Homo-oligomer: A and B are copies of this chain.
Amino acid sequence: MTEGKGLRGAYDTVRARTEQLCAPLHVEDYVVQSMPDASPVKWHLAHTTWFFETFVLTQACRDCAPFDPAFNYLFNSYYNAVGERLPRPRRGLITRPTVAEVYRYRAHVDSAMRRLLSAPSSLVAERTVLGLNHEQQHQELLLTDLKHAFACNPLRPTYLPPRQGGASLGRAPAPVRWCSYPAALRWLGHAGGGFAYDNEGPRHQAFVHAFSLASRPLANAEVRTFLEDGGYDRPECWLSDGWAARQAQGWSAPLYWEERDGHWWHFTLEGMAPVEDAEAACHLSYYEADALARWAGARLPTEAEWETAALACPLEGTFLESERFRPGPPCTEAGHPAQMFGDVWEWTASPYVGYPGYRPPEGALGEYNGKFMCNQFVLRGGSFATPASHLRRSYRNFFPPDARWQFAGARLARD
């Protein structure tokens, strides 16, 4: 993320980007927590700041007083080693500190960080890079959580001004081609050079069986056909737990979809818009992605398969939600998908576990990834909301299989 520019410049860029994302918001929009898994915007702003204060500033200056000692309780996300914390479902109950105070907190920590970054120790540099990647993760979460909160409001406020008129573009998606890969013992995981999270290593060998991967992710057209084919009402398409979730939560279409007068619309950060056939399907749970794959006579790829295919794929990203679609040759001349980043995260069939030889780091930062290796599935790629400099071929995102509020779709695979 930080290659090719100084750390101080990277710090300024990332921190400013977070605040730019908040420019369209009113104070009220910062406070709300629309479900236990989401967090208020205000909390994201403060938590990312607390991360620098706790893991960089306090480490570098043991005698420096924190901005406010109470913030460690309020803005610690899940680090048991750092102390007690506010239970996650209560983050939306906290009116104070006010938004203005949180911005003062950011400014205060930014000043101290900039002083430190004028001559950083290697530990400071390493932790700062981690903190910036952490903040980039929260930039995306800020948007997913905000979208969920806005969607709860029957007034349907919009984050960005609407771009589309009421009429659908009506374009069909490109036909799927299958990019094929032979069986091989392959090297996987982060190869070194630049930042990566601990869970992207150790680099290791794995035997990857022959497979084919679809040239593009599932499009809304396929989801619509699945719907029309009764897919949401046919248990044979679903995992047992998936069917139970569908029943318990009453799913009958992807999250944010609504039928109006026989046409499908969905709520976007730019307001209600027609569901475009050609766009990558989004806001799918793992269960829905898996059901779509079964229904289509295919399956989801493992993350080893996905990473194998991604090695030759360009890292591009940062689109508007309404531009979640780029046509392109189905497989490149070299036989790879032309695009695997920057539209939607792609659910893989791989449960999230550590790679062979993985050990979490010592100390509080060992809690960053390791303790979540259970009951989640890996997503690969990156969405339109993922900062472009945050995309990486070895990146392992992960969510529980019933999570739908992320910008997550799927790509099919076959043996």
Q: Would you give the shortest CB distance from A315 to chain B, in whole angstroms?
A: 28
| Residue contacts A-B, CB under 8 angstroms, 8 given | A26-B98, A28-B96, A32-B95, A80-B235, A95-B150, A185-B185, A240-B372, A287-B374
Q: Would you give the shortest CB distance from A235 to chain B, in whole angstroms?
A: 4
Contacts of A73 in B (CB 8 A): 154
Closest 6 CB pairs of A and B: A351-B351, A28-B95, A80-B235, A27-B27, A209-B356, A240-B371
Chain A 210-246, CB-CB to B under 8 Å as 1, else 0, gives 0000000000000000000000000110111111000
Contacts of A28 in B (CB 8 A): 27-28, 30-31, 42, 95-96, 98-99
A152 at the interface (CB under 8 A from B): yes
A353 at the interface (CB under 8 A from B): yes
Contacts of A96 in B (CB 8 A): 26, 28-29, 153, 155, 157
A97 at the interface (CB under 8 A from B): yes
Which of A46-54, A199-207, A321-329 is found at the contact surface with chain B?
A199-207
A90 at the interface (CB under 8 A from B): yes
Contacts of A206 in B (CB 8 A): 206-207
A401 at the interface (CB under 8 A from B): yes
A309 at the interface (CB under 8 A from B): no
Do A32 and B34 touch (CB < 8 A)?
Answer: no
Bound Cα distance from A239 to B39, whole angstroms: 22
Contacts of A31 in B (CB 8 A): 28, 31-32, 95
Contacts of A27 in B (CB 8 A): 27-28, 98-99
A415 at the interface (CB under 8 A from B): yes
A93 at the interface (CB under 8 A from B): yes
Bound Cα distance from A185 to B206, whole angstroms: 9
Closest to A377 in B: B374
A149 at the interface (CB under 8 A from B): yes
Do B351 and A353 touch (CB < 8 A)?
Answer: yes
A121 at the interface (CB under 8 A from B): no
Do B95 and A26 touch (CB < 8 A)?
Answer: yes
Given A239-B371, A240-B372, A32–B155 Cβ distance below 8 Å? Answer: no
Given A34-B93, A95-B29, A149-B93, A374–B353 Cβ distance below 8 Å? Answer: no
A94 at the interface (CB under 8 A from B): yes
Out of B81, B235, B239, B371, name the residue touching A374 (CB < 8 Å).
Answer: B239
Do A93 and B152 touch (CB < 8 A)?
Answer: yes
Do B375 and A94 touch (CB < 8 A)?
Answer: no
Bound Cα distance from A243 to B370, whole angstroms: 13
A56 at the interface (CB under 8 A from B): no
Q: Would you give the shortest CB distance from A146 to chain B, in whole angstroms?
A: 9
Closest to A29 in B: B95
Contacts of A32 in B (CB 8 A): 31, 92-95
Do A236 and B81 touch (CB < 8 A)?
Answer: yes
Given A351-B351, A353-B349, A93–B153 Cβ distance below 8 Å? Answer: yes
Q: Would you give the shortest CB distance from A267 to chain B, in whole angstroms?
A: 14
A408 at the interface (CB under 8 A from B): no
A160 at the interface (CB under 8 A from B): no
A112 at the interface (CB under 8 A from B): no
